[in-house]
Amino acid sequence: MSKKIQSALISVYYKDGLEPLVRLLHTNGVKLYSTGGTQTFIENLNIPVTAAEELTGYPSIFGGRVKTLHPAIMGGILYRRDDEGDVAQAAQYNIPAIDMVIVDLYPFEETVASGASEEDIIEKIDIGGISLIRATAKNFKDTLIVSSREQYAEVVELLTAKAGTTDLEDRRYYAGQAFGVSSHYDGAINRFFTADKTITDKALFDFTSLQSQTLRYGENPHQNATYYGDLEGIFEKLHGKELSYNNLVDVDACVNLIDEFQDAQPTFAIIKHTNACGIATAATAKAAYDNALACDPVSAFGGVVITNAKVDLATAEELNKLFMEILIAPEYEEEALQLLKSKKNRILLKRNTVELPQIMFKTILNGVLVQDKDLSTEVASQYTTVTEKAPTEQELTAMEFALKVCKHTKSNTIVLAKENQLLASGTGQTSRVDALRQAIEKANAFGFDLNGAVMASDAFFPFADCVEIAHKAGITAVVQPGGSIRDKDSVAYCDANGLSMVTTGIRHFKH
């Protein structure tokens, strides 16, 4: 199924990178057809080209809306070379074979992003180009489709190596790429027309995005992985190796957690396997980092660190002592940056101000789950005190801090906090009692005094056992969603032992 390219239709919006491919086709004796500006571009290279109008007998009409939509062109692409009837009809109607099509699409997304008028946006919905792409890709047994300027260099390499011929596998590959281009393009148009609709209408999992990068591997070396999205739009990479799949998962957890503290004093969080092993807020960046690291310096090894504050030299000197995979900050002092670059593989990211999606996707079974992002963050004014004793102002502040961490920690989770510092958390346990015991054990292991600390839970307490265990460890105040049919048991224990408890009415499971 090897075929030599003898004719090609070229009709592109962007001309950059096109010249080497056009010259190669000409050198190989390929007859060229073209339209409008592309025709002029080829003629300026002193390469012969036939206007598409000579095939169709029609000029470009309706302001350029119709140029290539004609049987002489679409038929030349679509007729099957091994079908006697198709071959006979092509001869009967004098339709020449078109073996290759090079086409890109009007810049619809760029036009939308520019803030152009709706009239201008509509005119950038490509009709002829998308039809050429689909037709050529459909007839991949006979035709080669080049659907993106990003493919020009590799196609030049391919045709040079194979002396102007392609194999069936080549043509099938580029057909698949082409349908990815058309799918992404139609998805962008759909999003434009449904931007004011409900989540169900607009939550399109657009894995065909042209902005993608192949990762070294997935969660484990035997798994392939690709990231689809605009990382450069979110971060400026200042130093270090390439981000891995696991790095990106942790970075996502970091960003979502630190965003809870955007309006707070300097805050540092250290993430390990998507959970916070340390987080603290303080008057200075250095104090915040020192307090965050103190939470669990063992787990912090090899973690991902993020802050809402500018990294100064004093803070960088402490950070530089830790082996960490990634550091993310909105700003770096130049001296701090140079010091942190002393570790070759350490990834340093400067975070840009970018609005993140408010919907989430998760693949399960043979489908995809879509849900709203958890945007609820309860503050003291929303709490309901359910015990005889009300929490102090200091305890309320600690509750707010603990809940923010709790919300971004895997369930079942318990978070223990005091004075804007995480003391310990129990994460991802199958029992809430186990989560609490894990948190207490870790707090004790790192020398924290739990007397006067608060406890936050991501879901209600089905029994009074957790508040009893917490009380015996020194906890004095509890914040939880409430809603258990046995809430009264936990409240009664608190009242009998001088603890305060508030409920929020909002659960924060994270699976």
Structure tokens at 239: 């130093």
Phi, psi for 93 (deg, rounded to 5): -100, 10
Structure tokens at 199: 């989540």
Angle in degrees, CA 298, 302, 303, rounded to 5? 85
Other CB atoms within a 10 A radius of the CB of residue 10 amount to 24
Residue 464 · residue 492 · CB < 8 Å: yes
CA distances from 485 to 45, 51, 387, 458 (A): 80, 78, 16, 17
Which residues, in sequence order, are bridge partners of residue 101?
Answer: 9, 145
Report DSSP state, residue 151: G
Find the Cα–Cα–Cα–Cα dihedral 288, 292, 297, 299, rounded to 10°: -140
Would you call 44 helix, strand, or coil by DSSP? Answer: coil
Q: How many residues does the chain have?
A: 511
Residue 126 · residue 105 · CB < 8 Å: yes
Residue 216 · residue 321 · CB < 8 Å: no
Structure tokens at 507: 């659960």
Marked catalytic residue, from 138, 310, 350, 389: 138
273 part of the active site? yes
Sequence-distant (≥ 6) Cβ neighbours of residue 440 within 8 angstroms? 416, 424, 450, 469, 470, 473
Q: Where are the beta strands (DSSP E) in 119-255?
A: 144-146, 165-166, 212-214, 226-228, 235-239
Whose tokens are 């593989």? That residue is 345
Other CB atoms within a 10 A radius of the CB of residue 294 amount to 17
Marked catalytic residue, from 162, 237, 273, 343: 273
Structure tokens at 365: 């079974």
Whose tokens are 């030349």? That residue is 76
508 part of the active site? no
Q: Which residues are catalytic?
A: 138, 273
